Chains A and B, each alone.
Chain A
């Protein structure tokens, strides 16, 4: 061994980040990548909110100075709420999203429990569950529309709720069954020994323990339904039945694009996005534990 030679080699092979430890360097790179990803995702939304407060007259100006808002103008919000039928569309969205969440949880909670606990040949079932989630939505728009038309359910809340539920149930079931797996089976058996039947085990033991999972599945269902544009556009035909994303689209694409309309569009989009953002922010802790339950269990 030549201690001098060894030290010399280290000296020359040291990277330009030698002031950072190996772990620190890795953390720094990962943080930068994460920040970049967050920027790419957040920036459009940030820009929408920023532009909604801009002076409508300066909306499309190209100068860098003018493109940043210099006034806090809430006129666009007033106009969006007065002129567009935003409140009706938001109410429609609320009805559809709440009902979808409820239906999705009603089906996925017991289904996931069965998948997690009851002994049966479930491999095929799980495969179908995963495949159904992997199919791109756009592929099933037309068949679903034809089906709904045949059932006389197009242009109805119920039709859209059913369609949204077909999208949310597989995912919710998957999240919840992973969550149930993290609850020790001993607890259910203890409840049975304590005299509880299957319904009581679910009601008193499993459900209270799976609240984070149920919330995660519920919030996911709500946000997916609230944000859906494609299915709502195809299924809802009357302006009175539009959900918020479809309403905004129909209202603003139906008129001349002038500067003032752009700012209103941004304001309307901000208003419509708020429930999702608030909901996510409020339940973020549950969502993370719900989605990660399967990943972190021993």
Chain B
């Protein structure tokens, strides 16, 4: 297994439109890195640049410290699992899995041995003579994984490999994938737009937008301390509530102030002293961090109550028309149209500059 590094890599697809802009990323040996972002953010292009299926217009791609920009995909010894699985339809499961070994001119008894071993590992041993069109979606996905594992590559690249599976199978496969990564101690680079998948799988999460990295870090850290409003809203379901307002300083204390309410900000908040009074800021809090409280400073009118078994959400509007979502105890039964007050603990407040969207408390 190997380290994979991208240094200031840029890829343009058409004049003036950069799919990836000066992207720098370092994936350590044995890490499970997830590239997460909305459609068109450049995550798949980044993966293809590492794979060698795309050539960078600028920057360097390094595997184990060696520059591989000039190397075609077949010489990089990386395995890629495609979103479509890309199984060869005219080959059986065994032939699909053994194709790479055949290209490496391994003797046929060695190919058979390794195909057998890998198929047992993935529970595919009964399906070796079947063709891809005789397999279910989950089985195809496992064959695609098997094709990657069998060759013992320097790193695994996975391009939304779970997106074609139904919800239950996806959840099961996520666990299998994690177990597999631990067993192989492999370097995994995984692309997805599904944040639940990303949060669950990643050792290191890379959130991308418009060809750039917005934030890198452990998923928990990114969730708790999003670097900007984009990451704050993108990560988490339901997404973070954000309210526009200004900072007001009074008697040494700092307050978030908008037309309808005022909220004292914790004194421990870093960088708060450096901000001028009256600067436009965005206050954010996660739905699960808010609670209904008669003394709460934010008021909202309930528009919709959503019950999801163990959880209940209320959707409503703050007085100045901003949409808010709050997670509540399922036993509480608020009425549609009711005006409620909510409070947010100071440690759960996120503050961002309105102009740049960057986090104040960095």
- List residues of A whose CB falls within 8 A of some B CB: 184, 186-187, 189-197, 200, 204-205, 208-209
A186-B82, A186-B84, A195-B151 known, 16 other contacts, Cβ within 8 Å: A186-B86, A187-B86, A187-B88, A189-B53, A189-B80, A189-B86, A192-B52, A192-B73, A193-B51, A193-B53, A194-B100, A194-B151, A195-B103, A197-B74, A200-B103, A204-B99
Q: Is the CB of B90 within 8 A of A190?
A: no
8 Å CB contact of B53 from A184, A192, A194, A205: A192
Q: Is the CB of A205 within 8 A of B74?
A: no
B104: A residues at CB distance < 8 A: 195
The verdict on B79 contacting chain A, using a C-beta distance below 8 Å, is yes
8 Å CB contact of B80 from A184, A193, A200, A205: A193
CA distance A209 to B80 in the complex (A): 21
The verdict on B147 contacting chain A, using a C-beta distance below 8 Å, is yes
**Which B85-125 residues have C-beta < 8 A from chain A?**
86-90, 99-100, 103-104
B73: A residues at CB distance < 8 A: 189, 192-193
21 A–B contacts, CB within 8 A, in A order: A184-B84, A186-B84, A186-B86, A187-B88, A189-B82, A190-B87, A190-B88, A192-B52, A192-B72, A192-B73, A192-B74, A193-B51, A193-B74, A194-B100, A194-B103, A194-B147, A195-B104, A196-B74, A196-B103, A197-B74, A208-B90
B235: A residues at CB distance < 8 A: none
**Which B147-194 residues have C-beta < 8 A from chain A?**
147, 151
B79: A residues at CB distance < 8 A: 193
The verdict on B78 contacting chain A, using a C-beta distance below 8 Å, is yes
CA distance A209 to B133 in the complex (A): 14
CA distance A204 to B95 in the complex (A): 11
A209: B residues at CB distance < 8 A: 89-90
A162 to chain B: closest CB distance in Å?
A: 34
B87: A residues at CB distance < 8 A: 190
A189: B residues at CB distance < 8 A: 53, 73, 80, 82, 86
A194: B residues at CB distance < 8 A: 74, 99-100, 103, 147, 151
B80: A residues at CB distance < 8 A: 189-190, 193
Given contacts A189-B73, A192-B74, A193-B51, contact A205 B84 (CB under 8 A): no
Q: Is the CB of B90 within 8 A of A191?
A: no
CA distance A101 to B147 in the complex (A): 37
CA distance A24 to B72 in the complex (A): 57
Of all chain B residues, which has the CB nearest A204? Answer: B99
